[in-house]
Structure 1
Amino acid sequence: MSIPFELPAENRDLSPRTGYTRAHWEAVADGLLTAAWRWSTPGRALLDLPGRPSRSGVRSDGLEGYARTFLAAAFRVAGAGGDDPHGLLERYAQGLAAGTRTPGRDDTESWPLILDHDVQGQPMVESASVALGLRLTAPWLWKQLDAGVRDRAEDWLRGALRHTPAPNNWYLFPYTVAGFLESVGRGDAETAAARRRALELLEGWYRGDGWYADGDGRAFDHYNGWALHLYPVLDAHLSGDADALAHHGARLRTHLEGLSLMSGADGAPLHFGRSLTYRFAASAAVALGAVTGHTPLTPGASRRIASGGLRYFLDRGALTADGLLGPGWHGPHEATLQSYSGPASPYWASKAFVALLAPADDALWTAREEAAPVEEADRVLALPAPGLLVQATRADGIVRLHNHGSDHVRPHEGETAAGDDPHYGRQAYSTRTGPTAPGNVPDNHLSVETGGRRSARRRIHPLGAGHGDGWGWAASWHRPVFAEGPPMVPGLRVESVTVAHGRYELRVHRVTGAPEGARLTHTGWATGPEEPLTSALYGLHGWDDPVPELLRAPQGTAWTRWARVPRLTGRCAGTSVHVSLASLTADTDAVPLRAAVGEVRVREGTVEVAWVGTGARTRIAFEPVEVRHGER
């Protein structure tokens, strides 16, 4: 699709895979900002972008427009050493003065006060972008402001220090505000307390393998990259705190060992978790690692992933005809959004422009683009701490994520709150498919049906994960939860194991405690009829028919207007074991699933599968879960 502003000519010598250079990043930032500023209020305090308002209201949405575009402008100007050819900082300085004025009778532009997250929370989110923008541009904006404007700005920002954030990554917003105030000589006991509190919580959320839970519980998603790593690492980098940078940077490096494999060959990030309308912000951690030197990637591979993500969305309709980032994924897509999503929400994509903090002569921009990990070889990577299994195939460039650990369920909710969250509860996600919408048949989902009720997967308990040469596994268990009637069936439990081998996904489920007459349904990947993809599912044991039925999901996914989903069904009274083989591929010569597996043995507590043509055999044991894979 055409991009509604001019970009430099592609440079296929320097960037053979994307054609993008630093000049392209600057041009995209300039184009996005020019388009957004057409919607500013007269005093420049709000950017009232068109579209459906969020639950926070129009004025909060206008602040969001100011704050999130300011972040892009700040990276753009700071990365150019203060060069501001479009006069961006003057606009943001005027908006800061107008937004922090005491509201009057005819006032239409002053910013909403920062209050507790459950009263008026969104301004606290935006305070971090305002503070970070001011910190990045301090020599050219903050230091040029009148003393009265600086005092008013500080008063408004301190609202983030005096009110309660949401119990997750939000604690890093007052942390970032405090970091800015301290950087301009306005720190005190209040700022120190906000920073100490956030760092203590962050330590408690760290689970290992470079992954943080987004608050208490087990929510793992893109917030790791664009929030939980970004704020502390960037703060340490800007302050020159070598000890803090070494501590947080080491975790970022470890995180990138897995995250770098989670981009498809077409540049798409995994469609997994919430706030996906932030799009190419998913590459912020990759860029930050390159800027700070805390990355396992070469500069050429880092730029390939970051530029690939940027170009992926620009080429697929993320921009409206007048150059705005519209809410959605490629183009508009309602199911991708959350209730807090407003017209300016997509501009958290600005975080990707942290790449511009690397100067023009940095290797991030001068090194020749190299292959992304998915382009180099088939890879399977287990991440035991978050309970995730990553499977990438070079032939079609698709990355799949098998979810045995992320559920977005708060500890106090227990296992009694029913309902399936499509962004967290599915068993698998990819860079080429999105989850089906609520109300449609769920993809990659296991459900127990009893008494006319169908279960959801809520809290997920990891049972381990591991990988070897070309294969890997992950396992978990959960108690099925029902929306109608009693939320639980006493004793009902499902244990699930996924083994990734090449392009294949061996899916094994053991159900215990199922009541008489209960049935099990299991679905595969959701794909559209016009997509160059094949979603295959085949029953190996425990199903009524090995060949699945195809069901329609008329609301489609982020890739297709409507989708088809394969589904297997079988009885599951008492204790039962169910084995299937699944695949998502763009390989037109792929071997049918029924021909990929030979003998399947299911005995008391074990499952053994022989693979045709490879001489390999997979053995899965329960109690405790143990997976072995190798030659006979």
Structure 2
Amino acid sequence: MERRKFIGALSLTGMLGVIDPKEVVAIAGNNEQLKLEKAGNDRTYWYKLLYKMANPVVSNLANGTLVKNMPLITSPTFDSRTPAVSYLEAVGRCYAGIAPWLALPDDHTEEGILRKKLRLDAIKGLDSCFAPNSPDKLNFAKDHQPIVDAAYLAQTFLRAPEALWKPLKSETKEAIITAFKSLRNRKPFKSNWLLFGSITEAFLLSIGVPHDEARLNEGVDKLNEWYKGDGWYGDGPNLAFDYYNSFVIHPMMVDTLAVMLSKGLVKAERYDLALKRMQRYALGQERMISPEGTYPPIGRSITYRTGAFQALAQVALMKKLPNTVSPAQVRSALTKVKQNMYDTPGTFDKMNWLQLGFCGHDPEIADYYTSTGSLYMATLSFLPLGLPATDEFWSAPAADWTAKKAWAAKTFPKDYHVDF
């Protein structure tokens, strides 16, 4: 079904194999080599940057050393929640961003070698951290925060079931299902959090596990009631002018409804409406990228950096960009944003862990719920790496994005309010 292509993963080959670590290091390169990638090879820049970002989380989880090695830095205003929730944050968010890339089939390119290494480590890491007495055991039992990051882990499995769910050990799968079910004793807050409950139940539904019907429906129903128009949902009854429509609302609304549609629980018209709204929001996101490749640091959670563009990235991955927005202009715009943000000293520490801040290192800008693990929402802007290198998104020549055209006195499309 066309509507569900984005949650289906391509078949994988060669799940087993030995990869020479020296070969991986040589391909990944050091920080200076990453900065020197040519503008004409955006995909190389993207995948090396994503590998740099994700590998500390994934490789340490695979080695049972995430808790040991991840620097657990919290906001200066961090609240009373258990700081250990940060490890689940790092895993759920990072995995959700890398999932489409890891779902591509193996090949013998430089990219393919890195991708296979990361995928095998990702599987090994999940098997490890859900094993009894694991030193990296993830917290699902305390606080409300695990509701959030279980949802990103569920979204991971929806985005790459063949690559990241099916290869897991049976005991790992059972442990994950039990962990997800255990969250039912805590209610999500009346905000975008309702979608966290919905998508977790949607994943359980997708694998044939009995789901909580009320929890599944509450998120998609309430957020629909809170729709404000022109592609914007309220975060609760009121509109919040921040990036939560992208961090959470549009992607999880569409992904949840896709599962419900596949199971005959909603009509196609409802999914189509949610997708149209996400497309409208994505169009606005592309226009918010300045000619210089910057974007407004507005609202909460700006330490999630380019995770702010998840909605635009997912629409590109789904090949559902609005007709007035070309894949090449989205790629070019997001590449420039990434260069501006991630080439700035201080964004990563010496071991390539993300540091608190927006553009660079600035702990003071972090919110009261923010810690090291929270920052891996940034991977969510890399979703188009799930498109093969031959896809137009990557193969088309670089193109000016809307604001760059507008401020260069070039022709660009008009924009109007929409009523759906």
Alignment of 1:7-26 (within 5 A): 7=34, 10-12=37-39, 19-26=40-47
- The offset of 1:335, in angstroms, is 3.2
- The offset of 1:66, in angstroms, is 2.2
Alignment of 1:42-53 (within 5 A): 43=64, 46=67, 48-53=69-74
Partner of 2:311: 285
**Partners of 1:252 and 1:152 in 2: how far apart?**
33
Q: What residue identity is the alignment partner of 1:309?
A: V
Q: What residue identity is the alignment partner of 1:66?
A: V
TM-score of the superposed pair, with normalisation by structure 2:
0.78
Partner of 1:170: 193
Alignment of 1:28-47 (within 5 A): 28-37=49-58, 39-40=60-61, 43=64, 46=67
* Residues 450-494 of structure 1: CA deviation (Å, up to 9, x unaligned): xxxxxxxxxxxxxxxxxxx99xxxxxxxxxxxxxxxxxxxxxxxx
Residue 92 of structure 2 corresponds to residue 67 of structure 1: yes
Distance change in 2, residues 1:202/1:5 (3 Å)? farther
Partner of 1:455: none
Task: Tell me if structure 1 keeps the 8 A contact 2:62–2:121.
Answer: no
* Residues 150-204 of structure 1: CA deviation (Å, up to 9, x unaligned): 1111010123344211221111112221222222222x341x3322111111111
Partner of 1:253: 279
Task: Tell me if structure 2 keeps the 8 A contact 1:172–1:228.
Answer: yes
Residue 334 of structure 2 corresponds to residue 306 of structure 1: yes
Larger Rg computed on CA atoms: 1
Partner of 2:349: 320
Q: What residue identity is the alignment partner of 1:199?
A: V
**Partners of 2:99 and 2:67 in 1: how far apart?**
17
- The offset of 1:124, in angstroms, is 1.3
Query: Aligned residues, how many?
Result: 366
Task: Tell me if structure 1 keeps the 8 A contact 2:328–2:393.
Answer: yes
Between Structure 1 and Structure 2, the one with more helix by share is: 2
* Residues 47-97 of structure 1: CA deviation (Å, up to 9, x unaligned): 752142354334211222222222233232014579674433443334334
* Residues 245-270 of structure 1: CA deviation (Å, up to 9, x unaligned): 42211101221332222112222221
* Residues 359-393 of structure 1: CA deviation (Å, up to 9, x unaligned): 22221112222112111125xxxxxxxxxxxxxxx
Partner of 1:99: 129
**Partners of 2:188 and 2:33 in 1: how far apart?**
40
Partner of 1:445: none
- Identify the match of residue 154 of structure 2 among 128, 131, 147: 131
**Partners of 2:137 and 2:153 in 1: how far apart?**
14
SS of match in other structure, 2:73: coil
- The offset of 1:239, in angstroms, is 7.8
Q: What residue identity is the alignment partner of 2:365?
A: T
Q: What is the alpha-carbon root mean square deviation over aligned residues?
A: 3.0
- The offset of 1:244, in angstroms, is 4.6
Q: What residue identity is the alignment partner of 1:374?
A: A
**Partners of 2:63 and 2:279 in 1: how far apart?**
44
Partner of 1:330: 359
**Partners of 1:170 and 1:216 in 2: how far apart?**
13
Which range moves more in the overlay, 71-80 or 211-220? 71-80
- The offset of 1:333, in angstroms, is 1.3
- Identify the match of residue 292 of structure 2 among 238, 263, 266: 266
**Partners of 1:257 and 1:373 in 2: how far apart?**
10
SS of match in other structure, 2:295: coil
**Partners of 2:297 and 2:276 in 1: how far apart?**
26
**Partners of 2:105 and 2:341 in 1: how far apart?**
25
SS of match in other structure, 2:338: helix
* Residues 208-246 of structure 1: CA deviation (Å, up to 9, x unaligned): 010111122231211112211111224456787554542
* Residues 260-312 of structure 1: CA deviation (Å, up to 9, x unaligned): 22112222221100100111112222222222233321111111222222222
The alignment-based identity, stated in percent, is: 23
Q: What residue identity is the alignment partner of 1:270?
A: P
Task: Tell me if structure 1 keeps the 8 A contact 2:332–2:400.
Answer: yes
Partner of 1:78: 103
Distance change in 2, residues 1:114/1:214 (3 Å)? farther
Partner of 1:355: 384
RCO greater where, 1 or 2, for CA within 8 Å and sep 6 or more? Answer: 2
Between Structure 1 and Structure 2, the one with more strand by share is: 1
Partner of 2:246: 225
- Identify the match of residue 4 of structure 1 among 8, 24, 31: 31
- Identify the match of residue 121 of structure 1 among 144, 153, 165: 144
- Identify the match of residue 136 of structure 2 among 102, 109, 117: 109
Consecutive unaligned residues of structure 1, counting only runs of 5 or more, are 13-18, 379-393, 396-468, 471-632
Task: Tell me if structure 1 keeps the 8 A contact 2:202–2:259.
Answer: no
**Partners of 1:33 and 1:189 in 2: how far apart?**
31
**Partners of 1:314 and 1:258 in 2: how far apart?**
23
Q: What residue identity is the alignment partner of 2:387?
A: A
SS of match in other structure, 2:242: coil
Residue 113 of structure 2 corresponds to residue 88 of structure 1: no
**Partners of 2:68 and 2:400 in 1: how far apart?**
39
Residue 169 of structure 2 corresponds to residue 143 of structure 1: no
- The offset of 1:37, in angstroms, is 4.6
**Partners of 1:147 and 1:63 in 2: how far apart?**
21
- The offset of 1:11, in angstroms, is 4.5
Task: Tell me if structure 1 keeps the 8 A contact 2:94–2:379.
Answer: yes
Task: Tell me if structure 1 keeps the 8 A contact 2:103–2:162.
Answer: no
Distance change in 2, residues 1:38/1:138 (3 Å)? closer
Alignment of 1:436-475 (within 5 A): none
* Residues 408-457 of structure 1: CA deviation (Å, up to 9, x unaligned): xxxxxxxxxxxxxxxxxxxxxxxxxxxxxxxxxxxxxxxxxxxxxxxxxx
**Partners of 1:146 and 1:244 in 2: how far apart?**
36
Consecutive unaligned residues of structure 2, counting only runs of 5 or more, are 1-28, 263-267, 416-420
Task: Tell me if structure 1 keeps the 8 A contact 2:64–2:135.
Answer: no
Alignment of 1:547-626 (within 5 A): none
